[in-house]
Amino acid sequence: MKNIKGKISVIIPAYNEAGVIAESLNETIRVFNDFGCKYELIVVDDGSSDDTFQNALKASRQHSNIIVKQLKTNRGKGRALKVGFRLCSGDYVVFLDADMELHPAQLQTFFDIMRLDEADVVIGSKRHPNSRLNYPLQRKIISSVYFFLIKIFFGLPIRDTQTGLKLFKYEVLKRVFPRILVKAFGYDLEILVNVHQLGYRIAEAPIVLDTQRYG
């Protein structure tokens, strides 16, 4: 990663992603190898009922910087991220969805924004004017309604909390995760509300989102 010193930990929560997890990991490794930075991929299988864990484990045998953790029961994405964070050894922590709707190559922009804006957290934003989106109208409507409610109740200085691609400095999550209670829906919001309350700076980055990544 250009202009980045230190190690990057990438947490990839996965639930029933057996059909794509190996390709996702190989693609993420290719991207980070091109970046030329130190990194590790931490896959947390959230109690999948398919072969997600086995396929991720197989990929980890081919790459020494992949760590795979299995949760015996499905406990929600928030819980999977919290478990994954305990295994992190990097200076920066990335949240990356296993389905690759948000390609990891976009992270160069996230790091550039973190440096230029002197931010502690950079989140992908579907509402950023430079974002390019290819996803169903129903999701766009739900996203807009959710944003409106969040603005009313929490007053966060951001326009999107739900996009899966996020970048944190390690010390931010070290302080925030002990405060997190939500295990499933709403964990993004709870994390960002706590980040804001603790006085950390949050910046938004444009994204390219493609729900047809795997057809």
Angle at 85 between CA 87 and CA 26, to 5 degrees: 75
- Read off the pTM: 0.88
* Average pLDDT of span 168-192: 89
Give the end-to-end CA distance of the chain in Å, rounded to a whole number: 29
Per-chain mean pLDDT for the chain: 89
Q: How many residues can be counted in the chain?
A: 215
Q: Where are the beta strands (DSSP E) in 47-201?
A: 66-71, 92-95, 121-125, 132-134, 166-169
Position 145 pLDDT exceeds 70: no
Bridge partners of residue 122, in order along the sequence: 167, 203
* Contact status, residue 23 vs residue 102, Cβ threshold 8 Å: no
Do the beta carbons of residue 11 and residue 44 sit within 8 Å? yes
* pLDDT in the model for residue 53: 98
pLDDT in tens, 7-64: 999 999 999 999 999 999 999 999 999 999 999 999 999 999 999 999 999 999 999 9
CA distance 155 to 61: 45
User: Are 207 and 127 spatial neighbours (Cβ–Cβ below 8 Å)?
Assistant: no
- Highest mean pLDDT range out of 49-58, 137-146, 153-162? 49-58
